[in-house]
Amino acid sequence: MLSPQKLIELFAQQSSWQDRYRQLILLSKQLPDFPEDRKIATNQVIGCENRVWLTSYKQPDNTVLFQGDSEGRIVKGLLAVLLILVNGKTVDEIRQMDLLAQITNLHISEGLSETRLLGLAKLIERIKSIE
């Protein structure tokens, strides 16, 4: 996966809305496979119109690794972006991040972060709720 800095550069290089979505969809395809048997209710993020699943694993050095999946390519792409930003950080570091602002700053689309139905805010809430 890309580093957060490369992510910013990647979207800054795209000149059309089609290209930005194309990159978002490519990112969704780079997410590691999510095991089907973990697509259970407790792993589902409530409040997203698309079904989204998220699991996390705390490593010995206290950093967290998230894994996730969604049935839509665009939501899955947003999930991939979020995981690039948070994976490998500690719980405290994640809590202090303004993830919505970071996604907005990628300028993928004006409407994307405001689309309540896509559930981006709920996804961020779930990521930050990890203990």
Known catalytic residues are 48
Find the length of the chain: 131
Q: Which of 51, 63, 65, 125 binds another protein (CB under 8 A)?
A: 51
CA distance 70 to 68: 7
CB of 71 to another protein, least distance (A): 6
Task: Identify which of 6, 12, 44 has the alpha carbon closest to the alpha carbon of residue 126.
Answer: 44
Verify binding: residue 40, another protein, rule CB under 8 A: no
CA distances from 6 to 9, 11, 26 (A): 5, 9, 14
Which is nearer to another protein, 73 or 128 (by Cβ)? 73
Verify binding: residue 104, another protein, rule CB under 8 A: no
Segment contacting another protein (CB under 8 A): 4-12, 34-42, 53-61, 72-80? 72-80
**105-124 residues near another protein, rule: CB under 8 A:** 109, 111-112, 115, 117-118
CA distance 7 to 9: 5
Q: String of b and e for 8-29 (b: at least 16 CB within 10 Å)?
A: eebbeebeeeeebbebbeebbe
Which is nearer to another protein, 17 or 38 (by Cβ)? 17
Binding site for another protein (CB under 8 A): 17-18, 21-22, 25, 49-51, 71-75, 109, 111-112, 115, 117-118
